[in-house]
């Protein structure tokens, strides 16, 4: 179904106002945003549907890049997705800041990407060095040698047993 026709059906469903219709409208808009992740107008409409449903965190998620947004919704989104990396992932923005159609969206994407990069750098610094000691490596090697030796002894025993069985 073409985008404009889908948007027309969404508007009709939202206008009806009953929960089932609004939920169908939400599902249609989620599909459109999935197909066209760089269209800010679709994100804004999806945020509006979530406002109707009373879900401030999702409304903040989808209006995060909008020129005008409700800061309470954005705060709810940031509480729901606590880290910059989680927020960036939740945004489902695939084209980078270059495909954003407004300066505000570009600035917010750059800020969020910078915060996510800083988070990743901090996590990498905290991660301990996981190199094993030489003693641990020697024990693992010794274990592998024992297992290999048992395998060879087992194969030789099996061959001797089969030979004796056929030989009589």
Domain boundaries, the chain: 3-126, 136-168
Mean pLDDT of 144-159: 95
In our burial notation (b when 16+ CB lie closer than 10 A, e otherwise), range 78-115 reads bebbeebbebbebbebeeebeebeeeebbebbeebbee
Distance in Å from the first CA to the final CA of the chain: 78
Q: What's the pLDDT tens digit per position in 70-122?
A: 999 999 999 999 999 999 999 988 888 888 889 999 999 999 999 999 999 98
Residue 135 has pLDDT above 90, yes or no: no
If you average pLDDT over every residue of the chain, what do you get?
A: 91
């Amino acid at each position: 179904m073409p985008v404009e026709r889908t948007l027309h059906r969404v508007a009709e469903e939202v206008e009806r106002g009953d929960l089932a219709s609004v939920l169908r409208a939400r599902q249609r808009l989620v599909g459109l945003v999935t197909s066209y992740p760089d269209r800010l107008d679709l994100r804004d409409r999806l945020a509006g549907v979530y406002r109707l449903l009373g879900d401030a965190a999702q409304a903040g998620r989808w209006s995060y890049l909008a020129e005008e947004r409700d800061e309470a919704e954005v705060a709810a989104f940031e509480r729901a997705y606590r880290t910059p990396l989680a927020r960036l992932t939740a945004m489902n923005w695939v084209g980078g800041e270059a495909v954003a159609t407004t300066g505000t969206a570009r600035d917010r994407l750059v800020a969020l990407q910078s915060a996510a990069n800083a988070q990743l750098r901090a996590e990498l610094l905290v991660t301990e060095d996981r190199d094993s000691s030489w003693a641990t490596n020697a024990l693992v090697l010794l274990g592998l040698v024992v297992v290999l030796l048992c395998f060879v002894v087992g194969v030789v025993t099996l061959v001797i047993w089969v030979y004796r069985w056929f030989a009589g």
